[in-house]
Amino acid sequence: MKNLLIVIGKQAISFLYFVGGLSTLAFQSFYWTFRPPFKRDPVFEQAKKTGYDSLPLVSLIGLFIGVILALQTAVLMQRLGSEMYIASIVALSLVRELGPVITALVVAGRVGAAITAEIGSMQVTEQIDALETLATNPIKYLVVPRLLALSLMLPLLTLYADIIGIIGGWFICVFKLGITSSLYLNITFDALLFKDVFSGLFKTVIFGMIIAFVSCYEGFNVEGGAEGVGMATTRAVVNMFIFIITADCFFTALFYFIFP
């Protein structure tokens, strides 16, 4: 019993230390975001890595998610004779929930892991210390461009994934279920409201911040050389997934009570 309490206590202290460090990094990042000098090139470079380079993977996953949703929904809707409502179910599921979450998880696994590995390698090779000796703030130089790029590009990627997913549902409904294109599009647009699009895109901004803060924090705290970089990258991906799902649950419940 004593050993169990010791383990629980160590885990609790470790978690509080992690949350405290993450909060400190977040406050410092917001502070340096609004402090001159403002350089656009690093933000554009990170935006390309985050957004443009992620398009093929997001396209593939978004299309398959739309196809899977349409096929799984068709099983029940055909029994009820309500195939036309598949379009609204696919659209609402993608825009409100699956689009933001799946896109965020894909970006976390692809971009977040790369950020942790990159900053972690700089940490173990003492490049971050070299930045400080050159009077360059590491948070302003490394964190802020990634924070801005992820916060701006993740909503755009999500919107793109939603469109691709709806197109995937369109293929199934038109070529498999015999629903006309005009009927599918009309039902899709009739089902979507501004609050549906807003709630999904708002969550992606938070998800982008989570990816930026967690990946950079783990990178800054790498210890132990190449092995430490690998462990930090794995830990960062796991933590990003947990925080994204937790934040999604919280904001989904919040929007449910505010915009039922």
pLDDT tens readout for residues 126-168? 888 888 888 788 899 899 999 999 999 999 999 999 999 999 9
Q: Is-above-0.85 flag for pTM?
A: yes
pLDDT digits (tens, 9 = 90+) for 217-249: 999 988 877 788 888 899 999 999 999 999 999
Identify the burial level of 233 via C-beta atoms within 10 angstroms of its C-beta, where 0-12 means exposed, 13-18 middle and 19 or more buried. buried
66 and 90 Cβ atoms separated by less than 8 Å: yes
pLDDT digits (tens, 9 = 90+) for 200-217: 899 999 999 999 999 999
Q: What is the pLDDT of residue 226?
A: 77
Span 83-87, mean pLDDT? 82
Instruction: Name residue, tokens 């978690």.
Output: 15
List the structure tokens of 45.
């470079």
214 and 240 Cβ atoms separated by less than 8 Å: yes
Lowest mean pLDDT among 1-10, 131-140, 154-163, 189-198: 1-10
What percent of the chain shows pLDDT beyond 90?
A: 42
Q: Is the pLDDT of residue 82 over 80?
A: no
Output 210 or 13, whichever has higher pLDDT: 210
Whole-angstrom Cα distance, residue 246 to residue 248? 5
Q: Choose among 29, 236, 237, 232: nearest CA to 145.
A: 29
Instruction: Produce one character per residue of 79-97: b if its CB has 16 or more CB atoms within 10 Å, e if not.
Output: eeeebbebbbbbbbbbbbb
What percent of the chain shows pLDDT beyond 70?
A: 98
The Cα-based distances of 201 to 36, 49, 57, 94, 156 in angstroms read 28, 20, 19, 11, 8
What residue segments make up the domains of the chain, in order of their start? 39-258
Lowest mean pLDDT among 2-16, 59-73, 209-223: 2-16
